Chains A and B, each alone.
Chain A
Amino acid sequence: MSEPLLPPIGMLAELTHRCPLQCAYCSNPTELLKANREIDTETWLALFEEAADLGVLQVHLSGGEPTLRRDLEQLISGLSRRGVYTNLITAGVGIAEGRIEAFAQAGLDHLQLSFQGARPATTARIGNHQGSHEKKLETAKRARAAGLPLTINAPIHRHNIEEVPEFIELALSLDAERLEIANVQYAGWALVNRDALMPDRASVERQGEIVEAARERLTGIMNIDFVPPDYFATYPKPCMGGWARDAFMVAPDGTVLPCHAAQTITSLTFERFGPRTLTEIWTDSPAFNAFRGTDWMLEPCRTCDRREIDWGGCRCQAMAIAGDAAATDPACIRSPLHARMAAVAGSGRPAGGEAPGAEGFVYRRIGGAPQPENPAPLKPDPALTA
C-alpha cells in the first residue's frame, strides 16, 4: 500500500431496488434485485452498528426508493442512536402521511429529494410516472414543515439540460439550502440509454456558465454542487474519492461494494455482510484492495502528477469504455482512449426534439434488463495508442 489504510467516513446504503419511478438514467445495476433478496431489519441494524464502530460518520439511505422499506424509521433510529449523520435520498413519490414526520422524530438529519424535471411534464416523462412532480412538491413542503433541511437533486441529461435555470428557481422556491446539478454518470441503466441521454457540447457549456453565475448570485443563500459530465471533461473525477479510500456502499442483499457499478467488473468477487464482517471486507477483501491507493496503476497514471488528485478516475468507466478496469479512465485527456470518449460526447444531440419514449428509452424495471446488456466497449484506436 502506498498509504496507510484509514477507516471509512461515508456509506451509501441501497436499502431496496424497488422504486415507483422508472428513470432511464438510474445508476442501479441493470440486474435489479427483487424484494425477497433484501436483507432484513436486524441485519441492517447490525451492519449499521459495525459501520459506526468502524468509523463511519455519515450514512446515505438510498435505493431504489428507500421509503418503500417499512422499517425505515427503525433504521434511521438505529443510526441516530450511534450519532451517525443520516441523509435520506428519496424520489418523494407515495410517502404515506405522517412518515416524513416520523423520520424526523427518529433523528433524520437531512433529506435529499430528486426532481427529474423542473417542469411537471418533464418529471412525468423521465420517470415514466404521471403526477410525480406534484407529489414531489408536496414531499418538499412536508419535509420543510417537519423541520428537515432539504437538498434538491437534479440529474441532468439531454432531456432536461435546458431546464437548469428553472431547477435553480424551483430549489429556491422550495426553501432548499442545497441544490445538486448532477450530470448523469453513464453506468447502470444510464449506460444502456447513453445515446438517448447524451447532451450536446453547446448545452453543456451553457449549463456551466449558468451554474457559475448562479453560484455567485446565491452565495450565502443556497449552495449549488455541480457534477460536470465526464464525457466532456479534461480530467476524471476522483470517483468515490478513490476506490475504497473513505467510502463504500451496500447493495439491498448486503453485498458490500466500493461503488455503485463495481459489479460490472466481473473479474472481482464481492462479499456480503453476514458471512463476513464489515471490518474484514473493508481491510482484507481482495476486491477492495484491487484498486486501492496507487500501486495498481498502469501508465499513464502510475507516473502522473495527478495520481493522488483523481486516483485514476472511475474504474467502472475504464471497464465500460476501455474494456479494462485497470486502464486510465478515458475521461482523462492523458488516456489513449480520450478522443474516442470525446467522439461519443460529440455525437450528443441538442436538447429538445423527440420525447424519450419515441426514441427507444429503456425504462428501468425489475426484470427488464436489456439484452445485450451494454453498448459495445469502444476499442482502442490503433492510431491513438501507437
Chain B
Amino acid sequence: MSRIVAAMSGGVDSSVAAALLARERGDDEVIGVWMRTHGDMPEGYELSRSCCSPDAADDARRVAQLIDIPFFTLNVEKEFGARVIDAFVDAYLEGSTPNPCQACNQYIKFDELLRRGLAAYGANAVATGHYARLEHRDGRWRLLRAVDTNKDQTYFLWVLDQEQLSRTRFPLGNMTKPEVRALAADLTLPTAQKPESQEICFVPLGDYRTLLEERRGYAGDPGPIVDAAGSQVGTHTGYAHYTVGQRHGLGVALGEAVYVREVLPATNTVVIGRRDEVAQRTFTVDGARFTAGEPPRERFHASVRIRHRAPDVPAEVTMVGRDRFLVETAEPVWAPAPGQGAVLYDGAECLGGGRIARSDG
C-alpha cells in the first residue's frame, strides 16, 4: 500500500482530480490536503474567487467528505510568503514580470508539499488538478501537454525534474475541461459550478501595488516614460507598477497603440514602443532546467512559448553554460518579458525552460 497526497485547492479541477484518484485508488490510500498559503484577504474581497480563502478550505473539505478520503490542512504560509509572494514583489522591483504560479509549483506544490507529505503522511506522491500528462518512456519521465490544449498548464510545470515527475500524478491530463465539469456534476461535488479563478490568489482585486508597499515599502516615485528614441512622452507612477507588454494605464497618447518595451529600475524609467518595436527574435533565458535533467544537445530545435496560452513558435536554442540559453525564433515573438518563463517543447513533450533574462542582466 502506498499513499498519495491529493492537493485540493477547493476548485473544480483539483476536486475532480482527487475524486478520480480516490475512485481508482486500488490499494493506494489517498489523502486530501488543502494548503493554507497566506492569511485572510481584506474585508470586501470576494473570497470565493480565491483558491486560498477559508471558503475554499470549506469547499475542499466538503469534497473530501463526499469522496471519502481523509483531509488535512497544511500551513505553508512561511514558505509561500518567502518563495512566492516575496519573489513576486521582488520581480517587480527588479523590473521583471513575476510568475507566481510557476514559483508555487516549483517551491510549494512539488517541493514543500512533496516533502511535508512524505514526512507527515508517509505519502510518496502528489496529485494535482493540473492539465498536463506524464509518460514513462525509454527510461525516463516525460512531461506532456494536456489533451485539452486550451487548458494545458505545462507552461507552469516545466521546472519539474525527474525526481519530482516520478512522484507526481496528473489525473486530469486526458480530460477536457467540459468533461471535468460534467464529472464534477455527476459526482455532485459542491465545486462543480465554481467559476474559474483567473486572478493571482494572494493579490486581492489584481491590485499588486498595495502588496509592493506592504511588503517592501515601495510606494513608487514618478518618473519618465520615454519612447524608443529616448524622448520623454509622459510620466509614470513608479517603474515597478509597469510590466513589459503592458498597454493600458500608460496615459500616453501618441496616435497609435504603444506598449511597455522595457522597465529600467536604475533610472526609474519606462520605455515604450509601437507594436512592432516590442517584438523580438532573440533573447536570453537563465535559470534553465530540463525535465530530463539536461538539454537534448548544446544546440537544438524546439518550439518556445513565452506566455501562458500564447502559441509556441519554432526556435533555435543554444546553451550558454549550464543554466543559460539563447533563443532565436523563426518569427519575431511579441514582447518577451523578463522574469516570464520561456518554455521549450518538442511536439507534445515539454523539455524544460527557464526565465527570460533582462537584456542588461
A binds B: no
